[in-house]
Structure 1
Amino acid sequence: MAAEMNTESKSVLKYLSENKFLIPMYQRPYTWEEEQCEQLWNDIVEFFDDEEKQQDDEYFLGSVVMYKQDGKQNIIDGQQRTTTLSLLLKALYDKASKDKSEEIKQLITNLESCLWDTDDISGKVDYSNPHLQSDVAGDEDKAMLESILCNTYEIPDSENDIKNKMKKSKSNYEKNYLYFICQSNNYAQEAPMKWRKLCVTLLKSCILLPIECKGDDEDKRMENALRIFNTLNNRGIPLSDSDIFKGIIFKNKKTQEERKSFAEEWKELENDNKDNMDFIFRNYMHIIRARNNIKTSEIGLRPFFTKEYKEYLQNSMGEITELSKFLNGEYDENYSLKSLRFYEVLLELPNEYWKYLDSAYYMYFKDKNDYFESHTHEKFLSRLITHCIVKFIDKPTISVIKPIIFNAYASLL
């Protein structure tokens, strides 16, 4: 059945002023850095400087996938752009609000409408109610984002002080916001009249395509959003397999308490594994293959968990967490000296397929509490090294090692 959705291209002004946004707790952290912000700024300035192009064209900033819950648009895909645009507009507002000229009164009003709630009758701006909130940010990052968007952040006076603060900052929110402060100030100083028109071009001629997913209830809206999210990803938007799995697991948590608990577990996993989340799931895939006596060539990670063995995702967090601890060396102190030396040899092999067998072996013996039994473990590692090295001497390719690993872990049961 086709996903229910509304799609209508909107200017930055309409997109940000007509919606309130929430970055759900299961989303990825905000990762854009100065490089991406510089690209965005330069693209907008280049578009603005091309007067002929402006007359007949609009600058497309990308699509956003979202669904409404409790009056807020939960962003499934597009949080990096939406967050960065909010930081950029806040930087432009800070510059504009210092200018008391009546000539830019409407510009200030437009910027305010993108960033905060405004009373429909009095026109009073509620600076404590920003249009963007994030549940995925850690406590310090969340406090930083709120201070920037709630008008309580103290901007250094000089550009040198701003740049020094950027170097010391650990928050992408702060660094990117200060980057836009510098860019805005420098542009305004060189061409004050053009700066005003640049702001208008950004608000009215830069376009996004929000895809708002519909449904009778929250679960249906989220399901539709994830379906579109997956489809866009299959067409080239760079989202990891583990991001897809995170959304699927989150969707199947029925209560807010379950979802909050899962989000905290996932955040801890990401902190422990950084950019290695897919590798954890790849090891888990081979553990499942071992349990199901599968010796054939493996399929892709995503189809394995979203089509063939989707049920494993629903109750996977306990084993995924345990697997993460194992792969990150939390149990290394339990190994004998001989086993540790064997691992040094295995780490020199030209690929990591041996780790899939090691993970399957660990999970098989974990409940028996004898994985670390010295003689058994040493013998296992010794045989693993022997088989791998013999095959690699003959032909040093991945293809020669796969059958050994697949047959070995399938024979565990």
Structure 2
Amino acid sequence: MKADSINLFDFLGNGKTIFEIPVFQRNYEWGKPQCEQLFNDLLTAEKEDQDHFIGAIVYVTDSGKKMSHIYRIIDGQQRLMSLTLLLKAISDIDAENKDEIEEQYLTNKYLDANNHLKLKPVDHDADAFFAVMNGKEYNNPSKVVENYNYFKKRITDSGINTPQLYESMDHFAMVYIELTNDPGDENPQIIFESLNSTGVSLSPSDLVRNFLLMSLDSENQAYLYKEYWIKIEQFFTTNAFTEFLRHYLIMKTHNLVKKTRSMIPIKIIFTHII
């Protein structure tokens, strides 16, 4: 495991990096309050002209095609997507720096797939994200489109010239935690559960999906998610699936299972299955 602080542009600026949000992660769900806070953080960084801490990001490293580096995001995917949308909004208004922003931080010219984009979202958000990043219309409800438009409006209403806002984004400071799949490294599953226990709001169904899929390679993750998990999500509402899991655990353990986010009984059962 490697951990350190880094500025946003240094993190995004490696031309051969792909930021992949695994299929077991949640859809993009940030709303106006979170985006408002992020943009206010940018205004603070611009006003004070100094580094401003915006959070942490945790990822597992892997190798991709053409010597590219894949960062599979374990935690921080909501913020990373929002930062990407904010950068895209700035680039679409700031003609002076548009090419630099696109080439340095939003696209990967070495990548043939994913429309050459550095960030690869979950399937649920992919069409909306590709539409925004390519200047296309997208008429279905989407947090991706909604928040992109929100950032564009805030930029215009701020009265601050966009090159100045762009420069101020380099004051965004983060902590990164880099994990590998090496046997001697920290277990990504344990790291994820530790982060969840400190307040990341995930439902029991999120935790089960994570537990079952995280240990697999990305190809098997994608296959099992599309072939089985999506059907489960379509069959149950979130609350109904949570209740199903609870009753299933009662049946398997012959004990009363409280309505809690604890993974312990779930892990005991699914460890035997997988």
* TM bracket, shorter-chain basis: 0.7 to 0.9
TM-score by length of 2: 0.82
Match of 2:146 among 145, 153, 175: 175
Higher relative contact order (CA 8 A, sep 6+): 2
- Which residue is 2:126 aligned to? 142
Alignment partner of 1:63 is 2:23: no
- Which residue is 2:176 aligned to? 210
What is the Cα deviation at residue 272 of structure 1? 3.7
| Structure with greater proportional helix content | 1
Seen in structure 2, the aligned counterparts of structure 1 residues 268 and 111 have a Cα distance that, compared at 3 Å, is same
Contact persistence 2:29–2:143 (CA under 8 A): yes
What is the Cα deviation at residue 191 of structure 1? 3.4
Contact persistence 1:30–1:137 (CA under 8 A): no
- Distance in 2 between residues matched to 1:94 and 1:196, nearest whole Å: 12
* Amino acid corresponding to residue 206 of structure 1 in structure 2: F
Alignment partner of 1:9 is 2:2: no
Q: Which runs of 5+ in 1 are unaligned?
A: 100-104, 120-125, 155-164, 315-413
TM-score by length of 1: 0.57
Seen in structure 2, the aligned counterparts of structure 1 residues 312 and 11 have a Cα distance that, compared at 3 Å, is same
- Which residue is 1:284 aligned to? 248
Match of 2:160 among 186, 191, 199: 191
Which stretch of structure 1 is more off in the superposition, 234-243 or 72-81?
234-243
- Distance in 2 between residues matched to 1:299 and 1:74, nearest whole Å: 31
Match of 1:244 among 196, 201, 207: 207
Contact persistence 1:305–1:312 (CA under 8 A): no
- Which residue is 1:112 aligned to? 103
Match of 2:28 among 10, 23, 30: 30
How many equivalent pairs are there? 262
Q: Deviations over 1:331-355 (max 9, x none)?
A: xxxxxxxxxxxxxxxxxxxxxxxxx
Seen in structure 2, the aligned counterparts of structure 1 residues 171 and 198 have a Cα distance that, compared at 3 Å, is same
- Distance in 2 between residues matched to 1:129 and 1:311, nearest whole Å: 38
- Which residue is 2:81 aligned to? 83
Q: Which runs of 5+ in 2 are unaligned?
A: none
Contact persistence 2:61–2:72 (CA under 8 A): yes
- Distance in 1 between residues matched to 2:108 and 2:223, nearest whole Å: 31
- Distance in 2 between residues matched to 1:267 and 1:43, nearest whole Å: 36
Contact persistence 2:22–2:218 (CA under 8 A): no
* Amino acid corresponding to residue 271 of structure 2 in structure 1: E
Quick check: which has more Rg, 1 or 2? Answer: 1
Contact persistence 1:169–1:175 (CA under 8 A): no
What is the Cα deviation at residue 84 of structure 1? 0.8
What is the Cα deviation at residue 252 of structure 1? 4.9
* Amino acid corresponding to residue 71 of structure 2 in structure 1: Q
What is the Cα deviation at residue 177 of structure 1? 1.1
* Amino acid corresponding to residue 146 of structure 1 in structure 2: F
- Distance in 1 between residues matched to 2:269 and 2:243, nearest whole Å: 17
* RMSD over aligned Cα atoms: 2.9
- Distance in 2 between residues matched to 1:8 and 1:93, nearest whole Å: 28
